[in-house]
Amino acid sequence: MKLQPLADRVVVKPSESEEVTKSGIVLPDTAKEKPQEGEVIAVGPGKYEEGKRIPLEVKVGDKVIYSKYGGTEVKVEGVEHLILRESDILAIVSR
Amino acid sequence: MKLQPLADRVVVKPSESEEVTKSGIVLPDTAKEKPQEGEVIAVGPGKYEEGKRIPLEVKVGDKVIYSKYGGTEVKVEGVEHLILRESDILAIVSR
Amino acid sequence: MKLQPLADRVVVKPSESEEVTKSGIVLPDTAKEKPQEGEVIAVGPGKYEEGKRIPLEVKVGDKVIYSKYGGTEVKVEGVEHLILRESDILAIVSR
Amino acid sequence: MKLQPLADRVVVKPSESEEVTKSGIVLPDTAKEKPQEGEVIAVGPGKYEEGKRIPLEVKVGDKVIYSKYGGTEVKVEGVEHLILRESDILAIVSR
Amino acid sequence: MKLQPLADRVVVKPSESEEVTKSGIVLPDTAKEKPQEGEVIAVGPGKYEEGKRIPLEVKVGDKVIYSKYGGTEVKVEGVEHLILRESDILAIVSR
Amino acid sequence: MKLQPLADRVVVKPSESEEVTKSGIVLPDTAKEKPQEGEVIAVGPGKYEEGKRIPLEVKVGDKVIYSKYGGTEVKVEGVEHLILRESDILAIVSR
Amino acid sequence: MKLQPLADRVVVKPSESEEVTKSGIVLPDTAKEKPQEGEVIAVGPGKYEEGKRIPLEVKVGDKVIYSKYGGTEVKVEGVEHLILRESDILAIVSR
């Protein structure tokens, strides 16, 4: 069973804390809007504008830093996921 | 008797609680904006922009996760339905 | 004497309560924004955008469910009517 | 001496109360935003959009129902008039 | 020394009270947003939209009724002027 | 060392009070949004819209009247400057 | 490991205080919205508008003055960085 997000929405599986530390990115606790790291699980077809879909920049498998604000939490087969808009994703993490 | 929604509106019949559990998606009670699962019953022709209708991504029969915020409750022949905009639909559930 | 609404406005004559019950649609009292059923009496020529009028989806004679919010009440020859924008109409009721 | 309104503005001379009653339209006192009846005295050339003027729907001599909200009162040679945007006009009254 | 306003801005010299009375336009003291009469002294080249300037409707020498709201007062060689956007001008007064 | 402003931003060096008086423009102390006079030191390339830059109306060396609201103060080699958007500039002063 | 920002986002490494003083730009403590100096570390591909990416004005290596408002702090391998939109960058500092 899977989720197919609509428009410019993305399904993200949040990274567990250990993984975050290994990647070398430590997200400060004191930030007003706390960003998080996770993996992209599914992407929408893009927003429809002036007759065509605007392709998303992120793809399935990307590790991303995102702002939790605006996302909606759902549990898929017992695992917590987040459905958010691509604009809530700040950057792709590469190594 | 049926409802034909206008523009980008969609008529959704909320799933009953048992069905939600079987699908493997459990929606947390604590989420600020609680999403729900339901089935698409009717779809509008799409919003009119720059001379044409923007087709909807969802179709009749789709199982969807949606945000209740913004929708309007109506009872059709005794059964509760929701009229909402497609932008209130987060994802299509497939199996 | 009649009213010719401007742009995307629509004149609606609210259904009386008995009629609402017969149609099988019962509108809950507890809804935050209470929708209503009525009949379209007159429609505007559509909003002007990028050099042409956007045609309305509803036509005279349609039974519609609408949100009262945003509409303006007027009495035409003693009968109460509502002038509202087409975007305040949620769905067309067919039988 | 006359007023030539700019853009999508319209000069309206409010009808006197007697006239309102004769037309068969009675405007309720209790409406939140009280509409009024009046006659169009002068119209602007229309808003400028994408290189051309959008023509107004109303013309001089039209009897209209309008929302007073947003208009500005001026006295022309002792008679009270209202300068408002065409979007504050709800409908043209015909007989 | 003179002021060349930018974009859709206009420099207006407010009429003195005596002049207002002569023109036959009396502006009520009780209006929420009190309009004023004045003479256009300088006009900007128009707003830039989609590759060209949108020409202003008013020209130097026009007597206009304007809304003071949004304008900025400056004194040019001891005389009070107002810099405002053309959208704050309601109508041109002709005789 | 110099500042190259981005988009439609402009760097302005505020005039000293003596200079303001000489120019014949006296800015009232009581105005709600107090305008100021200054000299344009650097201009951005213009905002990017529909595939091209919109050229600025002001150029380096222009004496301008501007609204301080929205600008950001910086000191360049000990002298106070202001970085503001061109839309905060009301008029060019010529003599 | 590096961050690839999305759309019109930029990764900036804030300058240390000593460096700020040497450049001759001193940012006042009392400014309402305190700007800061830093170096651009990574830039996004630009926002997508009307079928293409709008290129960024800043490039990797640029010294910039930016407004901290709206940015999100992240630590990359122990060093504090800021992810912000290009519109939060006021000017490029050159020498």
Tell me the per-residue pLDDT of D75-88, one tens digit each, with 9 for 90 and over: 888 888 999 999 99
In eight-state DSSP terms, residue D33 is S
Average pLDDT of the residues in F35-60:
91
What would the pLDDT profile of C25-82 be if each residue is shown by its tens digit?
A: 665 554 445 678 999 999 999 998 877 889 899 999 999 999 877 789 888 888 889 9
Residue in this structure with the two tokens 């924008």, named with its chain if needed = C85
Min Cα distance E29 → chain D (Å) is 10
- Point out the least confidently predicted range of A68-82, B42-56, D37-51, E60-74: A68-82
How much is the pLDDT for C20?
47
Average pLDDT of the residues in G28-46:
77
pLDDT band, residue A32 (cuts 50/70/90): very low
How much is the pLDDT for B8?
96
Residue D7: which of F54, E46, E35 has the closest Cα? Answer: E46
What would the pLDDT profile of D22-67 be if each residue is shown by its tens digit?
A: 556 665 544 445 678 999 999 999 998 877 889 899 999 999 999 8
| Of F30 and G7, more confident | G7
Full-model pTM: 0.82
- Point out the least confidently predicted range of B72-86, E38-52, F5-19: F5-19
The CA-atom distances, in angstroms, between F51 and each of C42, E49, E51, F10, G43 are: 43, 13, 10, 21, 19
C-alpha count within 13 angstroms, C-beta hemisphere, residue F9:
24
Average pLDDT of the residues in E31-59:
85
How much is the pLDDT for A91?
96
D54 C-beta neighbours (distance < 10 Å), count: 18
Q: Closest CB to E94: pick one of D4, D6, D45.
A: D4
Interface check F28 vs E, CB under 8 A: yes
pLDDT band, residue G32 (cuts 50/70/90): very low
**pLDDT of residue E19 exceeding 60:** no
| Of E25 and A19, more confident | E25
How much is the pLDDT for F84?
94
pLDDT band, residue E34 (cuts 50/70/90): low
**pLDDT of residue A39 exceeding 50:** yes
List chain B residues with CB under 8 Å of C91.
3-6, 9, 11, 42, 83
G84, F4 contact by CB (below 8 A) = no
D74, D81 contact by CB (below 8 A) = yes
Domain ranges (residues) in chain F: 9-16+29-92
| Of G34 and G69, more confident | G69
Min Cα distance D52 → chain C (Å) is 8
Average pLDDT of the residues in G80-86:
93
CA distance C86 to B44: 14
CA distance C25 to E69: 49
Bridge partners (DSSP) of residue G43 are G10
Contact D2 E94 (CB under 8 A): yes
CA distance E88 to A46: 40
Q: Closest CB to G90: pick one of F2, F51, F83.
A: F83
How much is the pLDDT for D30?
47
E interface test, pick of F27, F52, F57 with most E CB neighbours within 10 Å: F57
CA distance C4 to C20: 26
Average pLDDT of the residues in F19-25:
53
Residue B50: which of A44, G30, C39, C54 has the closest Cα? Answer: C54
CA distance E3 to E13: 12
How much is the pLDDT for G90?
95
Min Cα distance C74 → chain D (Å) is 5
Segment A55-61 long-range contacts (CB within 8 Å, at least 24 positions apart): A56/A8, A56/A10, A56/A86, A57/A86, A57/A92, A57/G6, A57/G7, A57/G45, A58/A10, A58/A86, A58/A89, A58/A92, A58/G6
In eight-state DSSP terms, residue G18 is H
Q: What is the ipTM of this complex?
A: 0.80
C44, C7 contact by CB (below 8 A) = yes
Residue E1: which of E78, E83, E76 has the closest Cα? Answer: E76
Reported in sequence order, the residue ranges of D17-78 that DSSP labels E, i.e. its strands, are: 25-26, 35-43, 48-49, 52-53, 63-67, 72-76
- Point out the least confidently predicted range of C9-13, D57-61, G8-12, G30-34: G30-34
Contact A95 G1 (CB under 8 A): yes
Average pLDDT of the residues in C7-31:
68
Find the angle CA(B25)-CA(B28)-CA(B29) to the nearest 5 degrees.
140
Interface check A18 vs G, CB under 8 A: no
Which parts of chain B register pLDDT below 50? Answer: 18-21, 30-32
List chain B residues with CB under 8 Å of C31.
72-73
Q: What is the mean pLDDT of chain A?
A: 83
Which residues lie below 8 Å from residue F91, measured CB to CB, with a gap of 6+?
E3, E4, E5, E6, E9, E11, E42, E83, F64, F65
List chain B residues with CB under 8 Å of A3.
65, 91-94
Min Cα distance A4 → chain G (Å) is 22
**pLDDT of residue E38 exceeding 60:** yes
| Of F76 and G65, more confident | G65
* CATH H-level superfamily of A9-16+29-92: GroES chaperonin (2.30.33.40)
Which residues lie below 8 Å from residue A76, measured CB to CB, with a gap of 6+?
A1, A2, A3, B24, B25
What b/e readout covers B28-63, taking b as 16+ CB neighbours within 10 angstroms? eeeeeeebbbbbbbbbbbbbbeeeeebebbbeeebb
Asked if chain C contacts chain A via 3 or more Cβ pairs within 8 Å, the reply is: no
Q: Which chains touch A (3 or more CB pairs under 8 A)?
A: B, G
D77, D11 contact by CB (below 8 A) = no
| Of F66 and C30, more confident | F66
Pairing of strands D2-5, E89-94: antiparallel
Interface check E76 vs D, CB under 8 A: no
List chain A residues with CB under 8 Å of G7.
57, 87
Q: Closest CB to G90: pick one of F2, F6, F77.
A: F6
Percent of chain E with pLDDT over 70: 80
Q: Which two three-digit tokens encode residue E83?
A: 């810099």
CA distance D92 to D63: 6
Contact E75 F26 (CB under 8 A): yes
pLDDT band, residue F18 (cuts 50/70/90): very low
Q: Give, for E94, the enclosing helix (H) or strand (E).
A: strand E89-94
Which residues lie below 8 Å from residue G91, measured CB to CB, with a gap of 6+?
F3, F4, F5, F6, F9, F11, F42, F83, G64, G65
C41 C-beta neighbours (distance < 10 Å), count: 19
Instruction: Give phi and psi for D87, each to the nearest 5.
Output: -65, -15
**pLDDT of residue F21 exceeding 60:** no
Pairing of strands G48-49, G52-53: antiparallel
